[in-house]
Structure 1
Amino acid sequence: MVLGSAVPRRRLLLVALLAAVVLVVAGGVVATRLVGGPRTDRGATPVLTPGPSTPASPSTTPSPPPPPPGADITGPLNLLLVGVDTRVSVPGWEPHADAVLVLHVPRGLGRAYLFSLPRDLVVDIPAFPKAGYRGGRTKLTHAMSYGSRVPGRPKQPDTAQGYELLRSTVSGYTGLRIDAGAVLTFNGFDRLVDSLGGVDIYVDQRVVSRHRQPDGRHRASAPGGYTGPQMVYEKGRRHLTGWQALDYARQRYIPGGDYSRQRHQQQLIRALARKILDQGLARDPDQVQQVVDALGDTLVYAGGGRRLVEFAYALGGLPADRFVLVGLPGSSVGSGGSYRGEQLTTVGRRFLTELRAGRADAYLTKHPTLKVKT
């Protein structure tokens, strides 16, 4: 794929990252699908760009320039970001939602709240006839896999279709209308982070990698786990390269388990979003659209008639220091001595109620431990 030569490669990588990410303000992972309903904008309204200047006649008053696309978006917005397991080489593989994050941007777009839902959260998954799923109560991660099943094509799961069921499930659980979202894989993550010059993050606990060696090579797979020397991320302020950032954010066999992994993913997202927003790229619709067009069919997007460049522009003015990370506490659920999954505590569930009512700040003031430190 050849991108226009008018923009330096580094800047295009940044805009590509922004185009895929500002929608969910989610920094350096690669969007394989951006989904929010049937796509209606391919080949439709072009980006608004000024035409050739024409001298105004003395008797006419020049018309004011049209507003930038997305300037009329005022919120509120609820955006869903999903990280999926991509082991497509495994027989019978189906995409599972390994990371489920929701970004809530209140009216005015001057603040944003990012929170994660545990992948093992026990939820009611609605019936989904398109995939032949009758509905049930099980782990949130399964909504993606159940929804991705295509009758008659058992080995060809449809990730975008799986997102539809996951979106309905998340909306039903949180009570939030999901306006748009992204299904993300890890492919290309390290290259994009490296294009930003890496990322600075505070490592809040010692993390030993299960997947990587200190030199970045993958550890050898063996029955029951992996073998070989392990990369270690020591506590403190660190500068991480692309593969290190990805590896750090994936680890869940650490103190705190998946809740610690959720926190680390949010911290990484915040650090990357801050770096991107500082570039001001979201307010350049021509360059965002150029990258969207170049991505072609690898980028599937819909947003109630809104184009991606509109969301990018709208969120481009979000102050980086008003990007609030929220950690929702939970606990395990058991039945007959066996593990069934996770549930949010009363404090965690109440946050969702207060968020819907527009009282999130007051609730976080009352429960300051919910705010994730960066």
Structure 2
Amino acid sequence: MAPLRHRLCVAAGSLLLIPALVAAPATAGPAAIDGPIDILLAGIDPRDTHTAPLADTIIVVHVPADRSGAYLFSLPRDLVVRIPGFAKSGSSPQRAKINAAMALGSRVGEGRYDPAQGLELLARTVGDVTGIAGFDAGAVIDFGGFRDVIAALGGVKMSIDQDVASEHRKPDGTPRDRLPQCQGHHDCARPYTGEQKIYPRSDTPVRLKPWEALDFVRQRYGLPRSDYDRQRHQRQLLTAVARKLSKAGPGRLRRVLAAAGSSVTFSGGRHSLAAWVDELRRVNAADVTTVGVPGTAVFEDGRYLGESVDAAPFFTAVATDRVAPFLVDHPGAVTTDN
């Protein structure tokens, strides 16, 4: 395990990968990480080993070879893709929503699932979509662990860029009531009723409690661009967390690392923990650019199938490590959040 003072230096540049790096055991591997870096982050609902995990949040982090910053972009969880076959789990090739790749790849036995194995199939699927030949590292964090990390930070401040009504929570944070016809099962698409927590638009950063931050970034219903607005809010929260971590003292950082606990799964590929710690501390949280990928809904005979994205030139820029010049030369191809 790398010395604590080195692990704490990672905070400024590694976003939610920080607790994953600390949770991972040190292994032998090359001492240096050269060239551009591509990291896959997946967020899942808290689940036990007997429930297949779904990747509800999929974010790619690209760090240029010159370490001049980092770029984050999301893929819609409902993106319709071809998921390749995966011998480890016995799943066959199929066309489905991309969040299913984690579940299909995670099966390790009858009724048993492993998110780390599921991340392998998700990485292959995301690689096929984006043209990224292989991810250098990846991490899975459940949303409960994310909430605990924010709690250890003492909450987080965010600008609320649009009015958002919670589908899931009352103003006091307790769960909303379920409709009578939706009691005892999960077959209702929108099972809740009654008063809602409201997050009013504010250009001045608002301090959000841990449950509020997590609730805010999980909302899509009622938003003009639905899941694309939700993806933007998730990227904004990641950036806010990273920037607060960059200013935190050693005592608070220790609490953050402890809070992550077993909720994070990290894969460092060919490189050791020490190598990742040394490399990622070179990235400044202030130099992170978050990017929105354009997409549209896919329908067949009036039935919603999922989403498609139109970002092939941007994906090529990522795969060839030319994101900065691409954003300058093609200002309308994607959107930047900051």
TM-score band, normalised by shorter chain: 0.7 to 0.9
Greater alpha carbon shift after TM alignment, 307-316 vs 161-170: 307-316
Q: Does 1:165 align with 2:121?
A: yes
1:104 maps to which of 62, 69, 76: 62
Give CA deviations for 1:301-355 in whole Å, capped at 9, x if unaligned: 442342334323322232223201110000112223322221112xx22101122
4+ long deviations beyond 6 Å:
32-35
Partner of residue 269, structure 2: 304
Identity %: 40
Give 3-state SS (helix, strand or coil) of 1:123's partner: strand
Number of aligned residue pairs: 317
Partner of residue 212, structure 2: 244
Give CA deviations for 1:176-231 in whole Å, capped at 9, x if unaligned: 12011111111143332132232121111100001111112222334141233211
Paired with 1:332 and 1:266, the residues of 2 have a C-alpha distance of 21
Distance 1:136 1:103, change over 3 A: same
Residue 88 of structure 1, CA deviation: 5.0
Give CA deviations for 1:224-275 in whole Å, capped at 9, x if unaligned: 4123321101111312121111110111112211100000000111111112
Structure 2: gaps spanning 5 or more residues: 183-187
Paired with 1:34 and 1:78, the residues of 2 have a C-alpha distance of 20
Paired with 2:107 and 2:128, the residues of 1 have a C-alpha distance of 21
Give 3-state SS (helix, strand or coil) of 1:340's partner: strand
Paired with 1:148 and 1:75, the residues of 2 have a C-alpha distance of 30
Residue 74 of structure 1, CA deviation: 3.9
TM-score normalized with structure 1 length: 0.74
Partner of residue 16, structure 2: 26
The letter of the residue matching 1:26 is: L
The letter of the residue matching 2:67 is: L
Partner of residue 185, structure 2: none
Paired with 2:47 and 2:175, the residues of 1 have a C-alpha distance of 15
Partner of residue 116, structure 1: 74
Partner of residue 363, structure 1: 326
1:274 maps to which of 229, 243, 247: 243
Paired with 1:194 and 1:185, the residues of 2 have a C-alpha distance of 15
Paired with 2:136 and 2:84, the residues of 1 have a C-alpha distance of 19
Q: Does 1:352 align with 2:315?
A: yes
Paired with 1:85 and 1:194, the residues of 2 have a C-alpha distance of 18
Partner of residue 373, structure 1: 337
Residue 134 of structure 1, CA deviation: 1.3
Structure 1: gaps spanning 5 or more residues: 1-6, 46-68
Q: Does 1:82 align with 2:42?
A: yes
The letter of the residue matching 2:149 is: L
Distance 1:34 1:356, change over 3 A: farther
The letter of the residue matching 1:178 is: F
Q: Does 1:194 align with 2:151?
A: yes
Contact 1:205 1:234 in 2 (8 A): yes
Give 3-state SS (helix, strand or coil) of 1:95's partner: coil
Partner of residue 143, structure 1: 101
Residue 32 of structure 1, CA deviation: 12
Give CA deviations for 1:67-110 in whole Å, capped at 9, x if unaligned: xx96x434311000001133559xx8421111100000011222
Cα RMSD after superposing both structures? 3.4
The letter of the residue matching 2:315 is: L
Paired with 1:300 and 1:202, the residues of 2 have a C-alpha distance of 30
Partner of residue 228, structure 2: 259
Partner of residue 161, structure 2: 204
TM-score normalized with structure 2 length: 0.82
Give 3-state SS (helix, strand or coil) of 1:187's partner: helix
Residue 160 of structure 1, CA deviation: 1.7
Distance 1:96 1:193, change over 3 A: same
Contact 2:21 2:266 in 1 (8 A): no
Higher alpha-carbon Rg: 1
The letter of the residue matching 2:243 is: R
Contact 2:145 2:263 in 1 (8 A): no
Paired with 1:119 and 1:325, the residues of 2 have a C-alpha distance of 17
Distance 1:309 1:25, change over 3 A: farther
Give 3-state SS (helix, strand or coil) of 1:333's partner: strand
Paired with 2:246 and 2:135, the residues of 1 have a C-alpha distance of 23
